[in-house]
Amino acid sequence: MVNPKEGEIVCDPASGSGGFLIRVFEIVREQILVDADRQYNEYKEQILQKNDLSEEDKAIKLRKQYDKIQKTIDQRTENSRMWKLSNRCIYGTDANDRMARTSKMNMIMHGDGHGGVHHHDGFLNVNGIFEGRFDIILTNPPFGANVEPSDKITEQETLVSKDVTKRYEEAYGDLYIEAQSKVKAAVNKSIASLFKLPKQTTKRGQAVYGKIKTEILFIERCLDLLKPGGRMGIVLPEGIYNNPSLAYVREFTEDRAFLKAVVSLPQETFISSGASVKCSLLFLQKFTETQKETFDETTAQAKAEIDAKYADEIEAEKERLETAIEAAKKEKDTVSRKILQKELKDYLKQMDNKKTSESRQLLKGRFDYPIFMYEAERVGITATGEEDLNELYPVADAQAKGIEKTCLEWYREFVADPEKFAENGEVEK
């Protein structure tokens, strides 16, 4: 569904054993090899049609063309198509040393240059992994844990040798310098201080952060890592989608990216791996700079209209209560004054919440777009870890097993013509 292409830069900031990265490598490698075959066959067809060449000349030309194309896909040749895929397009990091080593080994076994995989905290920039750099993010972040206020950024995590610094500064310029400076400036501070989603209070003039669920922080981290227009696929617990207390997380995401698709997985999907939480796959596309400008303008206009709608009402009620408060002060009626002050404070808070809610609804109506939603029942694995039917993407004999269309096939039809789904009453699918 994310559909990676040659030349796109991919990252998994919680890469585990490297499954997503390996799959991307395999898909793009196949694209390159198919294209190399296409190039050779087109050239071969042209040469075979030349009547002014002897068979020997044709064979020589074909051999030269074959060797030329082979150089472009020889992984050992620097800057070849396969070399770039292996050494410049696949990145990952995992905080667990054993998993990082496993990921590197898996990448080696699948033919990839594993230098883009690091043992490092996925929330922190390292080498080629930093904000605004990736076309695609694919990840299954850890669930259930928290980033605690005591989780600090250590100086050790920011140390980079001069040679490495020079290499990355030459490769990425100001983006890399800014990314590293951001982390270095936060040494000995909470990891949460790097992000906007964690709630904070102020104590003695300093920001104090509470704990926040790891998966929530990964949402922001992944959006930060994406380039404008970049695509993301992430596995998340369904509480993110429907828990009222996490509405601020959903709004944060909606303010930065298009929600392309949500694929709900069965409860038992990860039970064999020791996780009972029900999950969904969320697919996003980060706004381009132009789209972000349009969104912000639409947001501001909606807010201004709702503010204007209630301005007179709020001003009148505010004036009434403030007059009553002043009268209570003159009469030295402390009890009435405090009651009225609380009433004013509660009223203004209630109206702020009301305006925020109505502005949001107005915004959604004006910045409207279709979202693909799919409820999967069979995803290739049972609760005991045995192989099962898979309705997510095309597999052998899918139709013979009663699967008319897979989720991926439905999604491609939806992307091609969303209106058709609405007309046919298939939006709920």
Over residues 162-181, the pLDDT tens digits come to 888 888 888 888 888 888 89
Q: What does the pLDDT look like over 351-410, one tens digit per residue?
A: 999 999 999 999 999 999 999 999 999 998 888 888 888 999 887 765 556 778 899 999
The whole-number pLDDT of residue 116 equals: 87
Beta strands 134-139 and 226-237: pairing type? parallel
38 vs 157: CA distance, rounded Å: 46
The dihedrals phi and psi of 160, each to the nearest 5 degrees, come to -135, 135
pTM for the structure as a whole: 0.91
Tens digits of per-residue pLDDT, 47-56? 999 989 999 9
Domain boundary assignment for the chain = 294-366, 372-423
Contacts of 21 (CB under 8 A, 6+ apart): 10, 12, 15, 90, 91, 92, 103, 107, 112, 117, 138
Name the 3-class secondary structure at 262. Answer: strand
- pLDDT at position 429 is 36
User: What is the longest distance spanned by two Cα atoms in the chain?
Assistant: 114
User: What is the spatial distance between Cα 358 and Cα 310, in angstroms, rounded to a whole number?
Assistant: 11
Q: What is the DSSP letter of 2?
A: -
Burial of 315 (0-12, 13-18, 19+ CB in 10 A): exposed
Angle subtended by helix axes 81-88 and 19-48, to nearest 10: 170
Angle of helix 214-225 versus helix 247-254 axis, rounded to 10: 10
The helix-helix angle for 19-48 and 97-109 (nearest 10°) equals 20
Mean pLDDT of 275-299: 96
